[in-house]
A and B are shown apart, each in its own frame.
Chain A
Amino acid sequence: MIQQKPTIKLRGITKSFGGKKANDDIWLDVYRGEILALLGENGSGKTTLMNILAGIYFPDAGTIYLNDEEIVIRSPKDAFSYGIGMIHQHFKLVEVFSAAENIVLGAEGKLDMKEAKQHISEICKMYGFRIDLDQKIYDMSVSEKQTVEILKVLYRGADILILDEPTAVLTPQETDKLFNILRSMRDAGKAIVIITHKMHEVEVLSDRVAILRKGKFVGDMLTKNTNAQEMASLLMGRPVELNIQHSDPVDPKPRLEVRGLTVIGEDGVTKLDDVSFIANSGEILGIAGISGCGQKELLEAIAGLQPVQSGTITYLEDSGTKEELVGKDPFDIANMGITLSFVPEDRLGMGLVGNMDLSDNMMLRSYRKGKSAFVNRKDPRRLAERVVTDLSVDTPGLAVPVRTLSGGNIQKVLVGREISTAPTVLLTAYAVRGLDINSSYTIYDLINKQKERGVAVIYVGEDLDVLIELSDRILVLCGGKVSGIVEGRGALKRDIGLLMTKLGGGAPDAV
């Protein structure tokens, strides 16, 4: 059901940030009754381009046409008046308001809550949304919050919807549901744009795919006429292989034994409930779960950052010596001679200091070395040089604040530093979140190399396809409990998805 005439035409859109061209003369067409996937690596300008369409940024140059008429979008309000609505990656909802209150917030005209609710219910019925309109936002799951965001945009009468990486926070089941809704909106004649860098989403969902590379428009094509390999090549500008290698663990030995670990958060909520498992050397233990099910607390407890209520975390050396890690802070653990590396989820807020340059960030782990009162900046600089060359970090130099790098390069700096200490245990939380395909594969490679070196790797991930390909075993967390541990090889996405929502068939507390 593809119309011949585009509803939105972007012509020559250019936008620079501090001398860097985020969008460079981009031409793009959006059609009604079609799902357009906007595909591109991080920093390729997808979000910038859509923010221009949604009125967040104003282009330096270029023209936007709506149904062949030139329009000017100066603010999100202008965008709405043209029927353009965007659902951002980070939700903008009032936590203490109900779903309905959030949806009507900001709409113009007189407010009649009853009428509004009825109108919302109609929208829900039309596209198959299921939501309790009186529920407060703080009681909602991420997927429900997203539903509210989408409804908000529809309620305002948008018929051109832009979704910025909508599946990043969803389980496979939720993703399927969202896709069905998007399809029904397409069939109702709306124009849908989804920003993504996940190839399989483009394949199953979109009708057309437009590819951006380094701020430039590379091309667009009907999805049915292309394939993942071709898209990846266009994305990178060169042919690429899309395989994660998976070798068998060599001589795995128990390295880290967690027994009955219970963590209660500052708010009094139980974050981890009697978690037990063993991580072996030379093995990747994947951790799956809906976000917020205790993954973060688990890693932080092992790294010595999270107070533990009960349970033990035992480090087993090859010699048979046992060291207890509970009650130790990262400094103590390092002093015990245990090299435990941790790539936290929050890269700039925890793993790195955004305003410091590359060599100063390299120094974070090692600056204490030696008795001198002065820091040694020579070795960190050398390390920074090495990481930049070895991991091909794209940076104008070593003296730039690390926050100015793109997400993938920031992660390379962090991972590079963490593995430079030759760890025996490597903890990673969402190591490829927000990373583009190229950087993701670099990170998978690095993790695999660590595994081959005999490191016990604990990999918290969200993309089940990747978890299954990469992990030797997968531990599934649900609501702070271990709902199952499965072999990585041959695991089925569906089974893991069920364990994640604790529909695992009678063994919810199994270890």
Chain B
Amino acid sequence: MQYKRPLFHIVKRKDPPWYASAGIRLLAVLCALLVCAAVTIILTKEDPMSVFSTVVQGAVGTKRRIWTLLQNSAILLCISLAVTPAFRMQFWNVGGEGQVLMGALATAGCMLKLGNKVPAPVLYPVLFLASMMAGAVWAFVPALFKALWKTNETLSTLMLNYIATQLVAYYVVLWENPKGSGTVGVIHSDTNAGWLPVLLGQKYLANILIVLAVLVFLTIYLNTTKHGYELSVVGESERTAKYLGINVTKVILRTASLSGALCGLAGLLMVAGTDHTITTSLAGGRGFTAVMVSWMSHFDPIMMVITCLFIVFLERGSGEIATVLQLNTSFSDTLTGIILFFLIGCEFFIHYRIVRSGKAENKEVSHV
């Protein structure tokens, strides 16, 4: 029996320097844009350059759009940062959605019940505390189950998303305003009680600054504190953690709660910072997008900033094509999909290379 030599095979590369991996990613984006252009021409007969310029216009075309881009990125970044400590511990928290909703629900509840009744210096700390507690509880429960009975946290965090959505739905009906509208309406539109302040005339600035603070805190927490070190050890190997006498249960509960608390904070930013109301679709899938962001950034907070900006840029830009060029939104989703496909796919080429199968020249063997 004789087999043919394969044309090429795959070889793992040495960890490439940063500029090489950046170059590969850039190349991937360029390839993606080429494919996008081709798809655009074939499907819509539009000029791809005008489509691209519409994307850029839509994302950063005006000052207001830039602020919106930053605000949306900040919220996505906040949730991405929030799920990261859990991920570093290999606790697959896909319950960001539910934890955000719980934080939002707590915020809305406190605003409704305490707004205009207690002074602002009391109200704001209560809002922050309540939202973070609510998010933390939503992550603490699956963590407790995992620590005690080794239940699968992916399932339990996911299930809690549905419970959170239903809870919000219940309270939306309860807090309906005006009656019969089916919505909560803008909370305290007259006094703005519990609203995050407008800084330097920019209503999104407070949100962005808070997320930047979270970014700094989490970078320090993960990389330089004993807690951050412990959670990495637990994530890498529970056996090692036990060998060192680390209380694994405690670390799991603590880290998951932190993760949930920061998701809850994201809920606060949405309710008190931008929307000033609550709906069941408040999180809008960002709890799941955050999972992807965290993974794509290799759990590195700084990389997450870039990834979030990029994803929101695509989202906003492709949304614009849908309206301006009167294509339906599925088309913009297609383009976003193509770009993400190339970006994630290029990871393969960062770690492996393809080699043409060579042949050694035939020398005679020399024995020692």
Contacts and interface: CB of A to CB of B under 8 A. Distances in A.
Interface of A: 9, 11-14, 16-20, 25, 27, 29, 58, 60-63, 71-74, 78, 81-82, 218-221, 303-305, 329-334, 342, 344, 346, 348-356, 360, 363-365, 367-368, 372-375, 377
Contacts of B242: 305, 330
Interface residue tally on B, bucketed by range = 35 or more
15 contacts: A12-B363, A18-B13, A19-B14, A58-B9, A63-B359, A63-B362, A218-B368, A303-B243, A351-B243, A353-B232, A354-B236, A355-B236, A356-B236, A363-B229, A367-B230
Given A220-B368, A342-B243, A367-B226, A12 B3 contact: no
B12 interface: yes
B346 to A, nearest CB: 18
B236 to A, nearest CB: 4
B237 interface: yes
A18 B226 contact: no
A19 B13 contact: yes
B94 to A, nearest CB: 23
Interface of B: 1-6, 9, 11-15, 224-230, 232-233, 236-237, 239-240, 242-246, 355, 357-363, 365-368
B359 A330 contact: no
Nearest to A20: B14
B78 to A, nearest CB: 23
Given A350-B239, A350-B240, A353-B240, A72 B367 contact: no
B245 A330 contact: yes
A81 B3 CA distance: 10
Contact of B5 (A18, A72, A364): A72
Given A71-B3, A349-B240, A375-B229, A62 B360 contact: yes
Given A329-B245, A353-B237, A373 B360 contact: no
A60 B366 CA distance: 21
Given A58-B6, A81-B1, A367 B229 contact: yes
Contacts of A374: 224-226
Most buried by B among A303, A333, A351: A351
Contacts of B9: 58
A301 B345 CA distance: 47
Contacts of B4: 72
Contacts of B11: 16-17, 60
A60 B3 contact: no
Contacts of B365: 9, 11, 27, 29
A74 B6 contact: yes
A331 B12 contact: no
Contacts of B367: 219-220
A352 B240 contact: yes
Contacts of A73: 3
